[in-house]
Chains A and B, each alone.
Chain A
């Protein structure tokens, strides 16, 4: 910040006065009473003053920079809406990626906002407190700019209309929901490893690149703009995540095994969450940026590994799950799209089969697996479509107790076998998609038995429309569950081919481009 003081102070000194200079050791109430959450996770911090502020941002500078960004962003959002910018996207199929985005991501950002507010209150050092507070307001910014940017799509297309209601209820949205609620129910140190480090630092690029570059590639200036506008915030968040992990590791060698276990858990949790992003990159963007596999190689295997090399001097090891992920990268997006295509009656977005040209692209990106394992499946579905028998799965999938993804992943070395693990805990059986999810459960069974698994809840009768009578002779359970989700049958779901979105987009584009 700009400050003219009589005695010239260094930037670092000035910033220290503006932040940690404000705090004090409390005496009328004990520090443990004022900051009660810092001990129970077993992390030892001896000296909060050793915290190095990763960025020196005072509120006046924060307001100034952020206001400038907000002004620009909303000017573009307004212009994009006024100009019916949505008619300029490559293809109306693209809009379905935005439906997933809106129903999943602003709620994640909101949870991050509240989680960082808690850390901004609970961490005893003023430096990390303030850094977390700024991240807390950035996160609500992201939630709101996303909602505001996508609000105009909702006016013209189906599937967006009740995103918040669906986020708390719709089956596949329990995957992101449980991820963040898992993090937010952790102690402060695990939360910051989960979100500030594993999510922001290791995995953010893999979300940012497909969505935001995807938006740019597909002519969506609205979504592209909030993404670019968030980029400088994200850079701060990544720096904070790395700083926190280094600080914790430097404070006490006993912290290492605790942190290592958290990194192992949260890298895996994050990767599972990215399954939907993998499918989005390979199947949902009409104009593709790169394949999921390529993105994984660049952003995780190269950049992420460089980060782990950097942390090796503290004793941090690359999580074991990386080996499995390496094997899964040839399969992930195809298995995910297959799952959603067949679940097309219960999604708030449209699904479709890749065109011949798109399948050729997939063959070229996945030469070892696509033609051998997945093309035949899509060709089979195409055959059924031609016969007027578009395939829809009519049962509910079994979900993994931890990541809550349907049991759709195959064994690493045998793509013909579904990967399936089972544990008995206090007389009940729990199911897992992988060794890693099983290990996460075994470390904290009491936490994960509380998971709210949508498929199970439906079977238990907890997800019918308000006032429904399941004993009535004409009771239609599927219809009732769709009502509970607020999913409009025939408008929000089913195949893109023949959808209202498809017809409207074509008609409006014709109206906008022809006389």
Chain B
């Protein structure tokens, strides 16, 4: 039997704030994502020139060459504001914790063939530095970007990368111990196979145009690295060779990449759809960074797949090109713009 619970009903004077109503209509249902995102960045009558960048205003759309009529055209398909982002990550963290718990309490690291464990460490441990670079880059996009609709998810994305850097650290500790982290670090700093990638990461850290950085880091570098490392290396190769415990503790990265790709794609798509000039700009950045990231990843692919490295990187690149083609960007061949 259904009983109607009765509450005192009073009629509201309005549904939502005017700045939201101007965008979505006064009679539409409003979400917390919208109220917590739309127009919340100061945008008029800005006071004082930044001492750290006197040629721009504090919040300035001209910090990128990309031009948008309305910077709130960007939408996060996940509708992340702080609350939904944290809840989602806490749920993923709980699953990741269960994964670590499972492999640690059953001693699965010791059951792994030495060769497999060695290879997993060689590939994964230096990547914690790559994830940290991605953290800095995304935090920078939040700091210098324009409009909360795009800067907010960059901030969350940056913190996700920090989480991933910390999971990778934990994997190194689980499979070997603190000395392994030191070894991974010296590989990162000195081993020839890691230098192209380190150069790529350091080059990205000095990119001034924040939307170019978004393309370089979130679209290209992650778009090639995550499928190569977590889908092909961890989930296929290591699994096939008795290293499935590693894939259990990398579940976060795979789930995260699939989910955050929806946001990265939506962002690129919106920017490119705005104007042919934007689409051309993005295509240029894409061509530039795609070539360089491929070069940087090749020795890592070989570390992971030996002589099959290049072939795997090609496979991943083909899938990447197909993904990009759907975003309204023409893929040009690698080269400088």
Contacts and interface: CB of A to CB of B under 8 A. Distances in A.
A162 B22 CA distance: 10
B47 A451 contact: yes
B156 A137 contact: yes
Contacts, number: 249
Interface string B21-60: 0000000000010011001111111111111100000110
Given A121-B136, A184-B50, A452 B177 contact: no
A29 B177 CA distance: 30
Interface stretch (A141-149, A197-205, A270-278, A427-435): A141-149
Contacts of A437: none
B205 A26 contact: yes
Most buried by A among B89, B139, B174, B178: B139
Please report whether the interface of chain B is mostly helix, strand, loop or mixed according to DSSP: helix
B139 A182 contact: no
A114 interface: yes
B170 to A, nearest CB: 6
A385 to B, nearest CB: 27
Nearest to A37: B52
Nearest to B167: A60
A472 interface: no
A91 B97 CA distance: 49
Given A60-B163, A67-B86, A133-B159, A21 B40 contact: no
Interface stretch (A44-52, A152-160, A371-379): A152-160
A386 to B, nearest CB: 31
Contacts of B148: 110
B289 to A, nearest CB: 16
B173 interface: yes
Contacts of A459: none
A59 B159 contact: yes
Given A133-B159, A136-B139, A169 B45 contact: yes
B142 interface: yes
Contacts of B139: 117, 120-121, 133, 136
B166 interface: yes
A28 B199 CA distance: 6
A186 interface: yes
A34 B202 contact: yes
A424 interface: no
A165 interface: yes
B51 A27 contact: no
Contact of A185 (B10, B45, B58, B81): B58
A58 interface: yes
Contact of B203 (A28, A129, A155, A160): A28
Given A114-B41, A144-B81, A154-B16, A29 B166 contact: no
A168 B59 CA distance: 13
Contact of A141 (B45, B82, B94, B167): B82
Contacts of B143: 114, 117-118, 120-122
Interface stretch (B115-123, B181-189, B229-237): B181-189
A511 B32 CA distance: 29
Nearest to A35: B205
B203 A29 contact: yes
A96 interface: no
Interface in B124-170: 128-129, 131-132, 135-136, 139-140, 142-144, 148, 151-152, 155-156, 158-159, 162-163, 165-167, 169-170
Nearest to A508: B10
A185 B49 contact: yes
B138 to A, nearest CB: 9
A67 B169 contact: no
Interface in A109-129: 110-111, 113-114, 117-118, 120-122, 126, 129
A24 B129 contact: yes
Interface stretch (A4-12, A258-266, A312-320, A327-335): A4-12
Contact of A164 (B17, B140, B166): B17
A447 B202 contact: no
A155 B163 contact: no
Contacts of A60: 93, 96-97, 163, 166-167
A74 interface: yes
Nearest to B94: A64
A107 interface: yes
Contacts of A28: 198-199, 202-203
A63 B155 contact: no
B3 interface: no
B206 A29 contact: yes
Nearest to A151: B35
B1 interface: no
A30 to B, nearest CB: 9
B321 to A, nearest CB: 27
Contacts of A33: 206
B92 to A, nearest CB: 8
B318 interface: no
B241 interface: no
Given A114-B151, A148-B35, A156-B10, A163 B51 contact: no
A168 B166 contact: no
Contacts of A3: 170, 173
B19 interface: yes
A19 B52 CA distance: 26
A82 B156 CA distance: 30
Given A24-B189, A136-B139, A18 B166 contact: yes
Contacts of B177: 5-7
A22 B18 contact: no
B169 A147 contact: no
A34 to B, nearest CB: 5
Contacts of A71: 87
Contacts of B45: 168-169, 174, 177, 452, 457
Most buried by B among A22, A156, A188: A22
A269 interface: no
Interface string B85-108: 011011101101100000011000
Nearest to A162: B18
Contacts of B58: 181, 184-185
Nearest to B96: A60
Contacts of B188: 24
B195 to A, nearest CB: 8
A412 to B, nearest CB: 28
28 contacts: A6-B177, A18-B166, A26-B202, A27-B202, A28-B198, A37-B52, A40-B52, A59-B159, A59-B166, A60-B96, A60-B166, A84-B8, A111-B42, A117-B155, A136-B139, A136-B155, A144-B32, A164-B17, A164-B19, A164-B40, A165-B18, A174-B45, A174-B47, A181-B47, A184-B58, A185-B47, A448-B48, A508-B10
Given A158-B13, A164-B39, A511-B10, 7 more contacts: A9-B173, A59-B89, A157-B13, A160-B17, A182-B47, A452-B47, A486-B18
